[in-house]
Amino acid sequence: MLVRQVSAVAASGALFALAGLHAAWGAGSAWPFPSRSELADAVIGTSEVPAPAACFAVSGALAAAGALVAGWPRGQPALRRFGVVGVAGVLAGRGGLGLSGQTRLVSPAALSERFSRLDRRVYSPLCLALAGASALSAWPAKRAPAGA
């Protein structure tokens, strides 16, 4: 039970943090890079950062994923479980594509060698770790019967 709780807190916290980072990028920040062109090269694999609307859309999707993994909506366990399985599936797919060097299947403009290196070493393993931690939160732990 504790592993599931820790996994849910860690995964949802990371997803919310990533949502905030994408929102900051949509608002014009280059952090943690010194310039927007370096941000684009390292994170997107292109010469330009996507439009603010795209950054905010990704931010919203990550925030929704974080909310599902955190346990919302509480009164709809089947809906939440379905959503968490979707989150875990998308993250696992993205991680698998990156580790196999196939990220271009979902992001054909990602041509930068820097991005490819970071994708295999950082982004894809992070996606796979978040997928696993998210999946653990999909089903609540079984409680011991009263008096056991």
Q: Contact 96/128 with Cβ under 8 angstroms? A: yes
Give the 3-state secondary structure percentages of the chain, helix then strand then coil, rounded to 5.
70, 0, 30
Q: What's the token pair of residue 60?
A: 């919203």
pTM for this predicted structure: 0.91
Q: Contact 32/97 with Cβ under 8 angstroms? A: no
Q: What's the token pair of residue 68?
A: 């599902």
Tens of each residue's pLDDT in the chain, 148 residues: 788 899 999 999 999 999 999 999 999 999 999 999 999 999 999 999 999 999 999 999 999 999 999 999 999 999 999 999 999 999 999 999 999 999 999 999 999 999 999 999 999 999 999 999 999 988 765 655 665 5
Structural domain spans, the chain: 2-136
